[in-house]
């Protein structure tokens, strides 16, 4: 297993190129199951989750090549409809094959994702929505068995709670279904928008893209012809590098970003005293001498993303005053707190609220990565800490950050990857 060794205290400076979005890539890889043509995808991030998803498609029978940025995928010969436990346990987002497989083949079996470090994360809303579209679903030996022998039919789906992958699953199912589907209380994350746009380019009629009410006209089971597309830039990676620059009170420039997708993040950085300049698809963060305390409540897009909550907590340890972070989406997404405390942070937990007393001197320590975004918060704390930090179990980081240590070292950090 690899760990990261980080020597703290180095200022950052320069440019960083933001990769394609992991969370946009995964549903779009799944959408290849809806197509009859070979699909060309560019700007994929070279991260473990993307490679795992491509392996899953290959296990189902797809032909796929991936050179770390571009992929060519053809699913015409897919016959297998079972997504096995061994893959799903590695990556919960495997659930994204449920909608497309069921819509295309009229049956499928997908291993039920278990709990995960950040909470129970059920998939009940995905299943209820598919049942509304005519599917018969049972759970057997840890697998979701879904059947719709006559195909899925359009329906009105009113999600009780906003779910990103749930919305994506139903959009893909509705694209091949018979008749029109309406999705109410849909997620409107940029990744959901890109999925809709790609399907639109393939001829699927979708109304309300970018809103929480979508209307999708199904193709009556006919497979789609999906033209080549480029994955949007990763707004969570962008937020992570902005926090890295902020915690080091450094000036860096992000390239290849869409600043419209990170407005909630930029607003909180402004609250913390930072300024920024946008120039096309670049953004320069201007450091602040004093970091002001922040108040954050995570929410669905366009609210503040839960996926950068942990990184802002690391930043809040350096604010001149007390910050409050409330996590509304996941019940157990404070796993990083204990590790930040080991580095000297003053954080109290009160249910789903963290109260962070700022201006602390972080000290390097041995710490454990617990989930993807929690791990990046530890990297940020280590950049700022006095002395050396070793972050263990960084396979979590590798799931979603492309060449993290290389990018940070180019900005002036001192990080090495080693074997335990
Ligand atoms: C996606 C993102 C993840 C992000 C999250 C919230 C991907 C691959 N992952 O995860 O990075 O942190 O959105 O922005 O895009 N829920 C249910 N029943 C369901 C589905 C969800 O109760 O059937 C609950 C969840 O437990 C959670 C909330 O709804 O409390 C939101 O979860 P959801 O939006 O579904 O997260 P994911 O799509 O898994």
Instruction: Give tens-digit pLDDT for 231-264.
Output: 999 999 999 999 999 999 999 999 999 999 999 9
* pLDDT mean across residues, the chain: 96
Q: Which of 108, 116, 196, 201 is catalytic?
A: 116
At 235, list the tokens: 């707004």
At 222, list the tokens: 């006919």
Query: For 193-226, what is each residue's pLDDT tens digit?
Result: 999 999 999 999 999 999 999 999 999 999 999 9
CB 297 within 8 A of CB 328: yes
pLDDT reported for residue 19: 98
Residue with tokens 């199904």: 218
pLDDT reported for residue 370: 87
> Is it the case that residue 114 has pLDDT exceeding 70?
no
> Is it the case that residue 115 has pLDDT exceeding 90?
no
Whether residue 75 has its Cβ less than 6 Å from ligand 1: no
384: preceding bond cis by omega (within 30 degrees): no
Whether residue 307 has its Cβ less than 6 Å from ligand 1: yes
Q: Report the phi/psi class of residue 290: left, alpha or beta, with left for phi > 0 and alpha for psi in -120 to 50.
A: beta
Q: Which long-range contacts (CB under 8 A, 24 or more apart) does 201-208 make?
A: 201/226, 201/227, 201/229, 202/34, 202/35, 202/226, 202/227, 204/175, 206/171
SS3 of 277, please?
strand
Whether residue 96 has its Cβ less than 6 Å from ligand 1: no
Question: Which helix (DSSP H) or strand (DSSP E) does residue 353 occupy?
Answer: strand 353-357
How many Å lie between the centroid of ligand 1 and the Cα of residue 344?
A: 31
Higher pLDDT: 294 or 115? It is 294
pLDDT reported for residue 120: 59
Q: Once rounded to an integer, what is the mean pLDDT over residues 360-384?
A: 95
> Is it the case that residue 117 has pLDDT exceeding 60?
no
What's this model's pTM, rounded to 2 decimal places? 0.97
pLDDT reported for residue 331: 79
Whether residue 34 has its Cβ less than 6 Å from ligand 1: no
Contacts of residue 300, Cβ cutoff 8 Å, sequence gap at least 6? 162, 164, 187, 188, 189, 329
Q: Once rounded to an integer, what is the mean pLDDT over residues 265-291?
A: 97
> Is it the case that residue 406 has pLDDT exceeding 80?
yes
Whether residue 164 has its Cβ less than 6 Å from ligand 1: yes
Portion of the chain with pLDDT greater than 90, in percent = 93
pLDDT reported for residue 118: 55
pLDDT reported for residue 113: 85
CB 412 within 8 A of CB 12: yes
How many Å lie between the centroid of ligand 1 and the Cα of residue 330?
A: 8
**Dihedral in degrees, nearest 10, Cα atoms 328, 334, 336, 339:** 150
Alpha-carbon span 93 to 256, nearest angstrom? 25
| CB-neighbour burial class of residue 177 (10 A; exposed 0-12, middle 13-18, buried 19+) | buried
Where residue 276 falls among pLDDT bands split at 50, 70, 90? very high
Whether residue 166 has its Cβ less than 6 Å from ligand 1: yes
CB 102 within 8 A of CB 173: yes
Query: For 308-353, what is each residue's pLDDT tens digit?
Result: 999 999 999 999 999 999 999 987 789 999 999 999 999 999 999 9
> Is it the case that residue 119 has pLDDT exceeding 60?
no
3-state secondary structure 313-348: HHHHCCCCCEEEEECCCCCCCCHHHHHHHHCCCEEE
> Is it the case that residue 405 has pLDDT exceeding 60?
yes
Residue nearest to ligand 1 atom 21, measured at CA: 163
Percent of residues in the chain assigned helix, strand, coil, to nearest 5: 35, 30, 35
How many Å lie between the centroid of ligand 1 and the Cα of residue 417?
A: 31
Beta-carbon count within 10 A of 411 CB: 21
Portion of the chain with pLDDT greater than 70, in percent = 98
Backbone angles phi, psi at 223, to 5 degrees: -70, 155
Q: Once rounded to an integer, what is the mean pLDDT over residues 54-81?
A: 97
> Is it the case that residue 116 has pLDDT exceeding 60?
no
pLDDT reported for residue 121: 74
Work out which ligand 1 atom sits closest to the CA atom of 49.
Answer: 8
Q: Once rounded to an integer, what is the mean pLDDT over residues 139-163?
A: 96
Mark whether 116 is an active-site residue.
yes
Chain CA centroid to CA 253, Å? 22
């Amino acid at each position: 297993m690899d760990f990261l060794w980080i020597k703290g205290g180095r200022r950052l400076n320069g440019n960083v190129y933001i990769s394609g979005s992991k969370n946009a890539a995964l549903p779009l890889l799944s959408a290849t199951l809806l197509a009859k043509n070979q699909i060309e995808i560019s700007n994929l991030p070279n991260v473990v989750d993307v490679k795992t998803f491509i392996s899953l498609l290959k296990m189902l029978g797809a032909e796929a090549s991936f050179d770390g940025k571009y992929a060519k995928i053809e699913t015409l010969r897919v016959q297998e409809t079972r997504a096995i436990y061994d893959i799903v346990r590695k990556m919960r987002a495997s659930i994204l094959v449920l909608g497309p497989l069921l819509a295309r083949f009229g049956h499928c079996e997908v291993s039920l994702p278990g709990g995960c470090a950040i909470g129970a994360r059920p998939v009940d809303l995905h299943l209820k929505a598919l049942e509304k579209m005519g599917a018969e679903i049972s759970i057997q030996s840890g697998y979701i068995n879904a059947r719709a022998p006559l195909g899925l039919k359009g329906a009105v789906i009113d999600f009780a709670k906003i779910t990103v992958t749930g919305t994506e699953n139903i959009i893909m199912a509705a694209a091949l279904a018979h008749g029109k589907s309406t999705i109410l209380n849909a997620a409107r994350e940029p990744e959901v928008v890109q999925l809709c746009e790609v399907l639109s380019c393939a001829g699927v009629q979708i109304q309300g893209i970018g809103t929480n009410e979508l209307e999708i006209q199904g193709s009556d089971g006919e497979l789609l012809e999906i033209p080549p597309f480029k994955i949007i830039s990763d707004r969570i990676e962008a937020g992570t590098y902005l926090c890295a620059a902020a915690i080091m009170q450094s000036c860096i420039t992000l390239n290849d970003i869409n600043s419209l997708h990170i407005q909630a993040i930029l607003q909180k950085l402004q609250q913390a005293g930072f300024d920024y300049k946008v120039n096309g698809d670049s953004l320069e963060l201007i450091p602040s001498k004093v970091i002001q305390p922040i108040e954050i409540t995570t929410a669905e897009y366009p609210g503040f993303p839960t996926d950068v909550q942990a990184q802002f907590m690391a930043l809040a340890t350096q604010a001149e005053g007390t910050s409050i972070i409330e996590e509304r989406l996941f019940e157990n997404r404070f796993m990083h707190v204990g590790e930040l405390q080991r580095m000297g942070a003053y954080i109290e937990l009160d249910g789903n609220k963290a109260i962070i007393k700022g201006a602390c001197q972080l000290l390097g320590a041995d710490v454990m990565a617990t989930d993807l975004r929690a791990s990046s918060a530890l990297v940020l704390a280590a950049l700022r800490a006095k002395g050396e930090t070793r972050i263990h179990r960084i396979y979590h980081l590798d799931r979603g950050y492309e060449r993290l240590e290389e990018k940070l070292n180019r900005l002036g950090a001192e990080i090495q990857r080693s074997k335990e």
